[in-house]
Amino acid sequence: MREIHITDSAEKETRRKLSLARRIVIKLGTSTVTDTQGGVCAERVDPIVRSIAALMRDGRHVVLVSSGAVGLGRNLLGLHPSRLKDMAVKQACAAAGQSLLMESYKRRFDMLEQRVAQVLLTEEDFSNWNRYSNLRRTMEKLLGFGVLPIVNENDTVSTAELESVGRQAAFSDNDRLAALVMSGMEADALVLVTNVDGFLQKRSGAKLTDVVPFVVRVTPQFKMEASGPSESGRGGMTTKIEAAEIAMNCGGVAAIVNGAAADSLQRVFAGQRVGTVFAPATRMRGKRRWLAYAAGVRGRVVVDAGAQRAITAGKASLLDSGVVRVEREFAPMDVVSILDLDGREFARGIAECASGERSSNGGKAARVIFSRENIVVLEAPQSSVDAPGANA
């Protein structure tokens, strides 16, 4: 993989867009929120709280996504880290720690006269379109009232984040959760606060990448370049890059900054060079964005080359005649992965009918399986650029 060199002006433009962002999602990782004793790290959290309150006084809408509940709960219950291998123990720790986390934030924001609200989410709040729409309306009201929503997964009843990644979930860590909140709220910026200075490239001796242009695709090779995974959290740099990709494809700017520096948020929203910024691509809107990132996938179909070209180049509907086989059954209105002949997912759609219905006519009827307005193509043709951005 070769390095990309972009101009100083391109980086400055990306940072300028970040400084002008009016609706912002900020995610704090476990390594930022908690200290080595398992309590809230005031040294790191207090400056962040002050920066968020200042942003809101400036008239900006901010949503805070915070990790840390499981760690705080484990400390409260006096459990050894090895006990967290048990799912029920993790959920108990989350239940105990979530109240501590909110109490800590409320106390700090009260001192700055900033009202807060707790928002606990499950995977179904994203994978179901109606619940997704209701969530947005509630969040809009909170922001309209000048309230700071503090978001976390409802680990007490949902295991999507606590379980090991390996299934096609709407979200499996708080980095992705923050990106989906950013997408759902059509925010301008996503800032991921962690314990490293930004996206560090392994092959260059953990050299900091200042900016990643939107033409970069997040390939497995790109992810392998990530250095500096979190030891205490469940994400790491790979999940942050994936979250940044979602933000870019939703037309927003993303940034990864170090929470150990007290002025990180102040500097990043002043347009200064801090952390790594990811430039926005063309904004994907509404239900198409939900289909691409938030929807829970139920079924899977493989289509022939002609149907693939019709969908990607012709923006056409998918007809029954273009389906080679159904790999996972689905019902009407289910979200379905659309795969090419090599088994690569290139699109998603909302089913017009159940998978079993297509066989009733022997597959001969030119029946619409997915209408074009309910299909989203997941990736553009491969760019000639195939490596992480370099320091400008």
DSSP annotation of 392 reads -
Which range among 106-110, 173-177, 340-344 has the greatest average pLDDT?
Answer: 106-110
More confident residue, 125 or 221: 125
Instruction: Quote the percentage of the chain above a pLDDT of 90.
Output: 52
What are 380's two structure tokens?
A: 């553009």
Q: pLDDT class for 340, splitting at 50, 70, 90?
A: very high
The H or E element spanning position 52 is helix 42-57
What pLDDT was estimated at residue 389? 37
Q: pLDDT class for 168, splitting at 50, 70, 90?
A: very low
Residues 6+ apart with CB under 8 A from 332: 351, 352, 353, 354
Q: pLDDT class for 388, splitting at 50, 70, 90?
A: very low
What pLDDT was estimated at residue 234? 53
What pLDDT was estimated at residue 173? 78
Q: What average pLDDT score do residues 61-73 get?
A: 94
Q: What average pLDDT score do residues 18-44 get?
A: 93
Burial class (CB in 10 A: 0-12, 13-18, 19+), 81: exposed
How many other C-beta atoms are found inside a 10 Å radius of the C-beta of residue 344?
Answer: 12
Per mean pLDDT, which range of 197-206, 301-310, 331-340, 380-389 is the poorest?
380-389
Spatial CA neighbour of 84 closest among 176, 153, 155, 167 = 155
Beta bridge partners of 63: 25
Q: Which domains does the chain have, with CATH numbers?
A: 8-286 (3.40.1160.10), 296-377 (2.30.130.10)
Q: Does residue 30 register a pLDDT over 80?
A: yes
What are 224's two structure tokens?
A: 């392998």
What pLDDT was estimated at residue 4? 43
Residues 6+ apart with CB under 8 A from 285: 186
List the beta strands (DSSP E) in 154-311. Answer: 189-194, 200-201, 207-208, 211-212, 226-227, 253-258, 276-278, 297-303
Spatial CA neighbour of 337 closest among 389, 286, 302, 309 = 302
Mean pLDDT, the chain, rounded, equals: 83
What pLDDT was estimated at residue 254? 93
Q: What average pLDDT score do residues 76-102 get?
A: 91
Q: Does residue 229 register a pLDDT over 60?
A: no
Length of the chain: 392
Report phi then psi at 51, rounded to 5: -65, -40
Strand 335-339 and strand 297-303: the pairing is: parallel
Q: What average pLDDT score do residues 328-355 get?
A: 93
* Per-residue pLDDT tens over the stretch 129-167: 888 999 999 999 999 999 999 999 886 665 555 444 333
Q: What average pLDDT score do residues 341-363 get?
A: 81
More confident residue, 36 or 384: 36
> CA 136 to CA 139: how far, in whole Å?
5
